[in-house]
Structure 1
Amino acid sequence: MIDTHPTSYKGVIPTPTWAFRQYERIRHWLPDGLPMDQRPNPQLLDNLLPLANQFQVYVFDAFGVLNAGPRAFPAAIQRFRELQRMGKHVQILSNAATASHAKLVEKYRRMGFDITPDQLISSRWLLEQSLANRAREGLWGVIAPENSEPDTLPLNWQPVRPPVTEQLKRKLDGYDGLIMLSSEDWNEEMQAVLEATLTERPRPLEIANPDLVAPRGDCLTLEPGFFAHRAREASGTLPQFYGKPYAPAFQAVIERFTDIPPGQILMVGDTLHTDILGGQNAGMKTLLVTAEGSLQGMDIPNCIAQSAIAPDFIAPEI
């Protein structure tokens, strides 16, 4: 299958350095970090193995930690299995929202990660839980490719997909709210009409995936969070975000293990502004992986100093 997530926008091709700067630019829209006197001094490790007996629950981000696009990391598959054999609780906490929950579980099982549905929390799942708990009135536009099965969303909806036509513009103007599941096939022209309709008539905008970028092997793709913040700046509409770094994503993990203190949970991720920031705010310990993912090739100590987000541990891979 050809990946159709955008890899550039208005001539800008995302790189790890560019993405880090973009996260810093929207830092005041993200959750607060730890006070200076509570920030850890990161311990450098070769991998997660020295921590295998230290925690009861291990929570893994997906892209950049377990896989890059369709490619799973062999070392991650091995470590995942080792922890399961040790009787540890293992979870995947992903901002993925294009695929339904069932399809995402199937995807990671095909890659070699032996998980069950209750070992995965995705931002798509978090959105669906919110929709089930609080009905959205009226007709909503859902930004998602056809293969994303948006019919799993419990609301009255219509698809919003390219190309831009006068009919699409009229439909956009009539929706009572908009949901963005995926940035697949999204482009500058579609972004312009989204910003125009929200400027003309502000309405709810709910974003399943808060990520600005995602590592997909040899490139970074632009994700819904990037386009949502552009829409916010253009229209003044404040999006509702699901997924990391926001509290509901991490609270969903904690609620699955009510008998385990958050300090006995290790959040493992590749992004300071989502995985590490969100995990720390939830009271979890954190491990930043650096060999692949959003900070690949960057000066990690400098990134920590600039962002004031410091993980408990740093390792190139798990």
Structure 2
Amino acid sequence: MLTTQQIFDRYEGVRTRLPAATTRPDTVDISSLLDIVEQVDAFVFDAFGVLNVGETLIPGADTRLDQLRERGCAIRILTNAASYDRSGAIAKFKQLGLRVEDDEIITSRQAALDAMGEGHWGVIAADADQLDDLPHRVTRLTDAAADYDVVDQFLFLSAANWTASQQELLEAAMQCNPRPLLIANADLAAPRDDGFSVEPGYFGHLIADTFPDHVRFFGKPFPQVYDLIEASLPTTPINRIAMCGDTLHTDILGAAARGWRTVLVTQDGLFSGYETQPFAGSAGLFSDWSLCRI
């Protein structure tokens, strides 16, 4: 089980692969997002650690989204979770009790699928994922070594059923024949009810340690998902968009690199139980605002 410090250290270890951003060390503590509605036209929310932990809604998150919408703010949910197709992602958030419209949800899976080219794809996915939204020929990768050899490129959607032996098969296939690998969830880890789950980004960076030119990451902090958000808010000035997230190296860094405002949410996510300022100072990544819960 990964710890907060281990996750932070690994993000720092792969920092050269992440977008560059400059932030100022003058974070302002606020008590709720209602404190800054006069400065923000659109709030973009990370999911895990901000709206939910695992399959549990964080208390008050649904009410706050309603209140922000009532005050004229646009709402978007930007999630790196790529285990569900779009309809599954929409259903998950509605099952949590969030009152959101379908077009308010943007996923890293969407960005990765937009980048898929022609060919035979080896796909790493959750067992329940039917892969119906994938536009090309696919083979689901599990324990059959031969399947890794015959595909033209790889797409990593979910680490839910991924094992160490399967990671070894992927690494061996890349050693034998380096090919493109798309990581549809750039997160290293995600907060769950019983700790942190290991996410596709963790395994993708292990491959990128050896084959940096063959691995592409999608989701925060990488630019394609921000393109999708901005396209959905064509009349909103960039500096009037605020990203609300729990992770410095994904939520805060990625949004700051776009010129968005940033809100670090501290109580339930990566830094739960920790003072965040030492981590922010060590990384040189500072949010505009900070609060416990939205």
Please, what TM-score do these two structures have when normalized by structure 2? 0.97
CA contact (8 A) 1:251 1:282 kept: no
Distance 2:213 2:198 in 1: 20
2:182 equivalent to 1:194? no
Partner of residue 278, structure 2: 302
2:169 equivalent to 1:156? no
Q: 1:33 aligns with which of 1, 18, 21?
A: 21
CA contact (8 A) 2:127 2:161 kept: no
2:9 equivalent to 1:21? yes
Q: Which amino acid aligns with 2:280?
A: I
SS at match of 1:145: coil
Distance 1:233 1:281 in 2: 24
Q: Which amino acid aligns with 2:21?
A: G
Partner of residue 97, structure 1: 82
Runs of 4+ in structure 1 off by over 6 angstroms are: none
Q: 1:285 aligns with which of 250, 255, 261?
A: 261
Partner of residue 49, structure 2: 64
2:97 equivalent to 1:121? no
Distance 1:112 1:207 in 2: 29
2:128 equivalent to 1:147? yes
Distance 2:165 2:211 in 1: 16
SS at match of 1:92: strand
How far apart are 1:40 and its partner, in Å? 4.6
CA contact (8 A) 1:206 1:241 kept: yes
How many residue pairs were aligned?
294
Distance 1:158 1:309 in 2: 40
2:154 equivalent to 1:170? no
Q: 1:49 aligns with which of 13, 27, 34?
A: 34
Distance 1:105 1:87 in 2: 22
Distance 2:254 2:101 in 1: 24
CA contact (8 A) 1:98 1:148 kept: yes
CA contact (8 A) 1:198 1:237 kept: no
2:247 equivalent to 1:271? yes
2:228 equivalent to 1:252? yes
2:61 equivalent to 1:73? no
Partner of residue 238, structure 1: 214
Cα shift readout 1:183-241 (whole Å, capped 9, x = no counterpart): 01111111111111101100010010000000012210000000001112244553111
SS at match of 2:21: coil
CA contact (8 A) 1:17 1:295 kept: no
Q: Which amino acid aligns with 1:181?
A: L
Q: Which amino acid aligns with 1:211?
A: D
How far apart are 1:146 and its partner, in Å? 2.7
How far apart are 1:87 and its partner, in Å? 2.4
CA contact (8 A) 1:195 1:234 kept: no
Q: Which runs of 5+ in 1 are unaligned?
A: 1-12
Q: Which amino acid aligns with 2:87?
A: A
Distance 2:44 2:292 in 1: 17
SS at match of 1:74: coil
Q: Which amino acid aligns with 2:128?
A: N
Question: Identity, % of aligned pairs?
Answer: 34
CA contact (8 A) 1:95 1:124 kept: yes
Distance 1:87 1:33 in 2: 29
Q: Which amino acid aligns with 1:95?
A: N
Distance 1:277 1:87 in 2: 26
Distance 1:238 1:129 in 2: 17
Q: 1:86 aligns with which of 49, 67, 71?
A: 71
Distance 1:64 1:283 in 2: 23
Please, what TM-score do these two structures have when normalized by structure 1? 0.89
Q: CA RMSD in A?
A: 1.3
